[in-house]
Amino acid sequence: MDIFERCFNFNDADEVKSLGVYPYFRAISSGQDTEVIIEGKKMIMIGSNNYLGLTSHPKVKEAAIKAVEKFGSGCSGSRFLNGTLELHEELERRLARFIQKEAALVFSTGFQTNLGTISTLVNRKDYVIIDRSDHASIVDACRLSFGEVLKFKHNDMDDLARILSNCDDKGGKLITIDGVFSMEGEIAPLPDIVKLAQKYNARVMVDDAHSIGVLGDHGRGTAEHFGLEKEVDLVMGTFSKSFASLGGFIAGPERVINYIKHTSRALIFSASPPPAAVAACLAALDIIEAEPERRERLWDITRRMHKEYKSLGFNIGGTQTPIIPIFIGDDMKTFQVWKMLSDEGIFVNPIISPAVSPGFQLIRTSYTATHTDEQMDRVLEAFEKVGKKMGVI
């Protein structure tokens, strides 16, 4: 058999393209903001993770430019060897203080952060216990580890308790969860997870990719939201959302971070984050700490859109965050709704199986602190028009 045979036989994307409803890899001709330009057309962006609207902030852009002027365009090596700049170390110190952990370690991407942390900590005889709706990076990290992977039903604490009770004490136990689930917009029941972890002698790692900058009085994420910062062992975050850049980090006890730093293959054998990306993160962190009104505005928009979508009759599930899914329930119908919204000048993301379970196909929307009331009015008008036409409401 030719190893390329499955590639030559892959026709799914071509079939969707032939129907005129292919929604992926759309080239944007402008900055990532509340409005973008695609094929010369202005569209309202509600498909981005730019929660605080910092991708276009003058201070963030200026910091990136100055970093290139001083440090050049790249580091030309890994963090382990020649690729650590004083910028990386400054960002790690700042993040540790912000998250209120002893130490932090910066990776080149959020995906690598999960790969490098979980596969390094979980070894033979260990257990890694994850929610069935955890992000793909957590799932892939578990595959790379040598431990036994156990999955509990989404946000089902009885199932988590059952799994933990069946684990023996020959190895360690790491519970790894999304703080905010990226498709459903739900917040993990962290207080119950922490109680079970303490009962069964397990450690807790929270992927706060969609939580930092959004949840908590100071934007420190899920643990702060629940007042459990001391009880959560490891906090993972990404820079491609609220931090308006690229990369990721893990924060926790100094000895644990030091171990990951010196043994994680994903860190040691990857080129380090470029100066512009790191400087942009530092500037974004300054703004996150100094301008809580951005987060307050984001939540004003979130509460309004939750209310308005429900009033129109849309099924938004159990979302508790600025990630608001519009459940459609069918692959082709989801593509059709996406296309009609696109024609109305609204950028959204269609999510179909296997990314979600059959029957739970959805339009994923997400919001930015810099969206205007007028833009939200326009979004709601478009959704109402399309929803009625397609029989969704």
Mean pLDDT of each 10-residue bin along the chain, 393 residues long: 94 89 94 95 97 97 98 96 97 98 98 98 96 96 95 98 94 97 96 98 98 98 98 98 98 98 97 98 98 98 98 97 97 95 97 88 98 98 97 95
Q: Are 78 and 268 in contact (CB under 8 A)?
A: yes
- CATH number for the domain that contains residue 361: 3.90.1150.10
Instruction: Count other C-beta atoms under 10 Å from residue 320's C-beta.
Output: 16
Inside any domain, residue 250: yes
Query: Three-state SS for 194?
Result: helix
pLDDT for position 19: 87
Inside any domain, residue 163: yes
Residue 225 falls in the annotated catalytic set: no
Inside any domain, residue 322: yes
Last residue of a domain, one of 290, 308, 338: 290
Last residue of a domain, one of 290, 309, 330: 290
Same domain flag for 302 and 191: no
For residues 223 and 237, give the distance between their C-alpha atoms in angstroms, rounded to a whole number: 12
Inside any domain, residue 2: no
Same domain flag for 140 and 279: yes
Same domain flag for 304 and 375: yes
Single out the catalytic residue among 135, 173, 241, 261: 241
Residue 218 falls in the annotated catalytic set: no
pLDDT for position 16: 87
Chain-centre distance for alpha carbon 109: 11
Number of domains comprising the chain: 2
Q: Are 277 and 283 in contact (CB under 8 A)?
A: no
Same domain flag for 253 and 299: no
Same domain flag for 256 and 315: no
CB-neighbour burial class of residue 32 (10 A; exposed 0-12, middle 13-18, buried 19+): middle
For residues 58 and 176, give the distance between their C-alpha atoms in angstroms, rounded to a whole number: 36
Residue 182 falls in the annotated catalytic set: yes
Terminal alpha carbon distance of the chain: 49
pLDDT for position 291: 97
Last residue of a domain, one of 233, 257, 290: 290
H/E segment holding residue 294:
helix 292-312
- CATH number for the domain that contains residue 233: 3.40.640.10
pLDDT for position 354: 82
Same domain flag for 110 and 244: yes
Instruction: Count other C-beta atoms under 10 Å from residue 165's C-beta.
Output: 10
pLDDT for position 74: 96
Question: Quick one: which of 368, 382, 383 has its CA closest to 36?
Answer: 368
Same domain flag for 87 and 20: no
Inside any domain, residue 190: yes
Cis peptide before 354, with omega less than 30 degrees from 0? yes
Same domain flag for 66 and 168: yes
Single out the catalytic residue among 88, 135, 210, 371: 210
CA atoms within 13 A on the CB side of 314: 29
Cis peptide before 253, with omega less than 30 degrees from 0? no
pLDDT for position 156: 97
Q: How many residues are given for the chain?
A: 393
Chain-centre distance for alpha carbon 325: 15
Report helix, strand and coil shares of the chain as percent, to nearest 5.
40, 15, 40
Single out the catalytic residue among 119, 182, 242, 342: 182
pLDDT for position 280: 98
Same domain flag for 332 and 278: no
Inside any domain, residue 34: yes
pLDDT for position 101: 98
Inside any domain, residue 50: no
For residues 234 and 390, give the distance between their C-alpha atoms in angstroms, rounded to a whole number: 44
Same domain flag for 111 and 139: yes
Residue 297: give the domain boundaries. 9-45+292-389
pLDDT for position 169: 86
Inside any domain, residue 329: yes
Same domain flag for 279 and 340: no
Same domain flag for 265 and 146: yes
